[in-house]
Structure 1
Amino acid sequence: MVSRPRPGDLLVASPALTDPSFDRTVVLVVDSDDDGALGVVLNRPTPVTVGEVLPDWGPLVSQPDVLHQGGPVSSDSALALGVLPAEVDPPVGWRTMYVDPGTGRCVGLVDLDAPPEVVAGATAAVRVFAGYAGWGGQQILDELEEGAWYVVPATVEDVFGADADGLRERVLRRQPGMLAWVLTKPVDPELN
C-alpha cells in the first residue's frame, strides 16, 4: 500500500509514466488530503518573464525571472511560492507548506494579491507558476501504485534553483539505492 504524498514531497516522473504532460517532470506537492493532491511542475520554465505578465512581481522573483509552467490545470492563472529564512515572520497572505529540515527555511504559498513590497521584505526567493497539476482523491494513489512517480523529499534548492533543466537528474542522483540508477536507464529500452 502506498502513502499519500505530503506538501514538500517531490513527485519525480518515472519511466512508467505515460502521460506526455508529465514526461520527465519534477512536481512539488503543494497540498494533499483525502480529496486529492495539488502540485506545481518545477522543471518547465517558459520564455516569458514574470515582469511581462505581473509587472509588480517581476523584480521579486528568483533567477531565472521567468514564468514556470506549473501544470496543465488552469494555465491562465498564477500561483507563487516563496521561501523565508528561519528567523523571519511570514508576510501577509503567506501560507506555510513545509519547513526544509536541512536549513530550517520555510517554503510556502505567496498571495499574489498581497502588496509586493510587503512580501519583498520577508522572502528570500519567489517563483511564479502558470497553472498547476491536480489529482482527484484516489487518482494520485493509483498512479503511485502503478509506479508512475517516485516520491522523495524536496529541498529549497529544488524549488528555487536556477537550473530547472537539470533538476530531475540532480534529484534522482542524490537518492540512495536504485533511484540513482534510474538515470542510466534509456528513455526507450528498445533502443538499447
Structure 2
Amino acid sequence: MNRHSMWMPCLTRKILLSYSEIQSIKYASPAVGTDMTMPLKKGIFLIADPKLRDPNFSQTVVLLCEHNDQGSLGVVVNRPTTLRLSEAIPSIDGTRSTLDVIYSGGPVQPDHIMTLCRGEEQVPESEHVADGIYLGGSLTVLEDMLASLSSPNSIRAYVGYAGWSSNQLESELGESSWKLVPADQKFVFDMEPARVWSTLLASLGEEYSIYASMPPDPTMN
C-alpha cells in the first residue's frame, strides 16, 4: 500500500463549502492533545508531536482556522491524496496539476471540500485566517480565481477537516500532542508536503532535530 492510499475519500457528492457554511459547522473530531506554547487562536499551526500515534494526525501540521467558545476547526495541510479537484467538481479545470490535487484536511465530514486561498487582498466570501491566507469562497468565486490565476500555487482544496468541541482542545493541553507556532503561507502553498512537518518540527530546537529526520510512520503504509 502506498503512503497516500489511506487518504482516498470517495469522490461522490463532494460539497464545496463557502465560509458562511463553514461557520455553521459543529466542531468535533477525535481527541488529541496540545502543548500550549502560545495562545490558541486562528492563524497558528498545530505541529504533531513525534509521539502522537493517532493515524489521523501522526506527523501532520494543522492550520487552525477557527477558535472560539464554540470550539476549534482546522485543516491538515501536508497530506495530499490521490484525488483530483476536477474529478470531485467537474466544472473545475483540471489542467493545472499542482492546483488539481485534493488534500486530506481531517477526519470530519470527508464529503465536504474546503479551500484555502492565498492573496494580498480579501477573497470574496472568505475569512482571513493568517497573513495572506483566506478560508472559504463559493464555487463561483473559486472558478473565477482559477480562470485568472497567475500562479498555480494560490489555492488548496481539502476534503474533511479537524475539529474540537467547546473547551476540548484546551482540556488536552497537558497531553503535549501538539506544538504551536505562527502560521506561514509558504508551508501551505509552496513547500513540498512531505517536508512540511519535519521542517517545522526542526525549527522548534535541537531536541526535535532527531525526530524531524525520522522516516514516515510505518503504520501509515
Offset, 1:96: 1.0
Q: Which amino acid aligns with 1:96?
A: H
Change (3 A) 1:116 1:64: closer
The correspondence of residues 94-133 of structure 1 with structure 2, limited to 5 A, is 94-99=126-131, 106-120=132-146, 121=148, 125-133=154-162
Counterpart CA distance in 2 for 1:62 and 1:14 is 31
**Distance apart, 1:170 and its partner CA:** 1.2
The equivalent residue for 2:192 is 163
- Identify the structure with the greater strand proportion: 1
Do residues 44 (structure 1) and 79 (structure 2) align? yes
Q: Distance in 1 between matches of 2:89 and 2:204?
A: 36
Normalized against structure 2, the TM-score is what? 0.70
Q: What are the equivalent positions in structure 2 for 1:1-192 lying under 5 Å apart?
A: 2=36, 4-59=39-94, 63=98, 65-85=100-120, 89-99=121-131, 106-120=132-146, 121=148, 125-176=154-205, 178-180=207-209, 182-183=211-212
Cα-Cα RMSD: 2.8
Partner of 2:15: none
Q: What amino acid is the match of 2:185?
A: V
Contact 2:198–2:213 (Cα < 8 Å) also in 1: no
CA 1:178–1:58 in 2, change beyond 3 Å: closer, same or farther? farther
What's the CA shift for 1:14? 0.7
SS in 2 for 1:82: strand
| TM-score of the aligned structures, taking structure 1 as reference length | 0.79
1:110/1:16 CA distance change after superposition, 3 Å: same
**Pair 179,123 (structure 1): closer, same or farther in 2 beyond 3 Å:** farther
Counterparts of 1:184 and 1:162 in 2: how far apart (Å)? Answer: 16
5+ residue gaps in structure 2?
Answer: 1-34
Identity of aligned residues (%): 30
- Measured against aligned partners, the alpha-carbon deviations of 1:19-69 in whole angstroms (never above 9, x if no partner) come to 221111111111111221100111111111111112333459782531101
How far apart, in 2, do the equivalents of 1:186 and 1:161 lie?
Answer: 22
In structure 2, do the counterparts of structure 1 residues 69 and 187 end up closer, same or farther at CA, with 3 Å as the change threshold?
A: closer
Structure 1, gaps ≥5 residues long: 100-105
How far does residue 137 in structure 1 lie from its aligned partner after superposition? Answer: 2.0
Give the aligned length.
179
